[in-house]
């Protein structure tokens, strides 16, 4: 097998993987019943899908131009770091607005559920209806 064919197969693999992840994430966004379940599917799959496209672009740049492109790698790292944090923030907001503290299971740590025990008094007086 030639080196060019190996690069073509690798780029094709990552592009197909990106399409599959995007399709699964879109399906989860449309079909899952509530925000917490809808949040999970697209967050994971779009992170992996966009990451796969960027990896395919890096392989393409290296295979055809002989260059290692750093900005695509930095975008991938940034995406892998920020998407889970954003999902965590959205989940916490959902919990604060829709789940009473008494309905949550016992927390395994010494600090309880993050956010519930640290809400300032002035925030507790705000009506969220």
Q: What is the pLDDT of residue 15?
A: 96
Distance between start and end Cα atoms, the chain: 65
Domain membership flag for residue 16 = yes
R_g of the chain, CA atoms, integer Å:
21
Which DSSP helix (H) or strand (E) runs through 87? helix 70-98
Question: The tokens 């395994």 sit on which residue?
Answer: 108
Show the CA angle centred on residue 64, arms to residues 61 and 66, nearest 5°.
70
pLDDT band at 123 (very low <50, low <70, confident <90, very high): low
The pLDDT > 90 percentage for the chain reads 21
Q: Which structural domain, as residue segments, surrounds residue 120? A: 3-124
Domain membership flag for residue 129 = no
Is the pLDDT confidence value at 12 over 90?
yes
pTM of the shown model: 0.70
Q: What is the mean pLDDT of residues 93-104?
A: 78
Q: What is the pLDDT of residue 13?
A: 97
Domain membership flag for residue 8 = yes
Q: How many domains does the chain have?
A: 1
């Amino acid at each position: 097998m030639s080196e060019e064919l190996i690069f073509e197969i690798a780029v094709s693999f990552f592009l197909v993987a990106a399409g599959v992840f995007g399709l699964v994430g879109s399906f989860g966004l449309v079909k899952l019943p509530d925000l917490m379940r809808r949040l999970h599917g697209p967050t994971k799959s779009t992170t992996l899908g966009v990451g796969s496209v960027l990896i395919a672009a890096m392989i393409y740049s290296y295979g055809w131009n002989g260059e290692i492109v750093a900005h695509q790698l930095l975008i991938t790292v940034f995406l892998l770091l920020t998407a889970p944090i954003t999902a965590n923030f959205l989940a916490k907001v959902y919990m604060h607005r829709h789940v009473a503290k008494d309905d949550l299971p016992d927390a395994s740590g010494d600090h309880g559920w993050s956010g519930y025990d640290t809400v300032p008094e002035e925030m507790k007086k705000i009506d969220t209806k």
